Structure 1
Amino acid sequence: MTTDITTILSRIDSGDPRAAEELLPLVYDELRKLAAIRISREKPGQTLEATALVHEAYLRLVDQESDQQWDSRSHFFAAAAEAMRRILIDRARSKQSLKHGGDHQRMDFEIHCPASKETPERLLAIDEALSKLQQEHPQVAELLTLRYFAGVPMKDAAELLGISPATAKRRWAFARAYLYGELTD
Structure 2
Amino acid sequence: MDDTLHELLAAYRRGEPGVLDRLVPLVYDDLRRLARRHVGQWPNLTLDTTGVVHETYLKLVRQRALDANDRAHFMAICSQAMRQFIVSYARQKLTEKRGANPLIQDIHGLDIPVKGEAEELLLVDQALRGLADVDLRLVRVFECRFFGGLTEEETAEALGLSLRTVQREWMRARAWVKDMLSAP
> Which category of TM-score, normalised to the shorter sequence, fits these structures?
0.7 to 0.9
Q: Deviations over 1:61-92 (max 9, x none)?
A: 122xx254214124322221110111111011
Q: Is contact 2:15–2:64 with CA below 8 Å preserved after alignment?
A: no
Taking only aligned residues, the RMSD between alpha carbons, in angstroms, comes to 2.4
Q: Is contact 1:12–1:62 with CA below 8 Å preserved after alignment?
A: no
Which structure carries more helix by proportion?
Answer: 2
Deviation of 1:131 after TM superposition, in Å, equals 1.1
Taking structure 1 as the reference length, what is the TM-score of the superposition? 0.79
Match of 1:70 among 45, 67, 72: 67
SS at match of 2:37: helix
Q: Deviations over 1:10-44 (max 9, x none)?
A: 3234443331121011111111111122333433x
SS at match of 2:18: helix
Partner residue in 2 for 1:109: none
Q: Deviations over 1:85-114 (max 9, x none)?
A: 1111101101111x32479xxxxxxxxxxx
Amino acid at match of 2:144: L
Give the gaps of 5 or more residues in structure 1.
Answer: 104-117
Partner residue in 2 for 1:9: 9
Moved more, 135-144 or 155-164: 155-164
Deviation of 1:2 after TM superposition, in Å, equals 4.2
- The verdict on how the C-alpha distance between 1:71 and 1:39 changes in structure 2, with shifts beyond 3 A counting, is closer
- The verdict on how the C-alpha distance between 1:170 and 1:15 changes in structure 2, with shifts beyond 3 A counting, is closer
Q: Is contact 1:35–1:53 with CA below 8 Å preserved after alignment?
A: yes
Give the gaps of 5 or more residues in structure 2.
Answer: 101-115
Deviation of 1:174 after TM superposition, in Å, equals 0.7
Question: Does the alignment pair 1:60 with 2:59?
Answer: yes
Amino acid at match of 2:174: R
Deviation of 1:166 after TM superposition, in Å, equals 2.5
Which 4+ residue blocks in structure 1 deviate beyond 6 angstroms? none
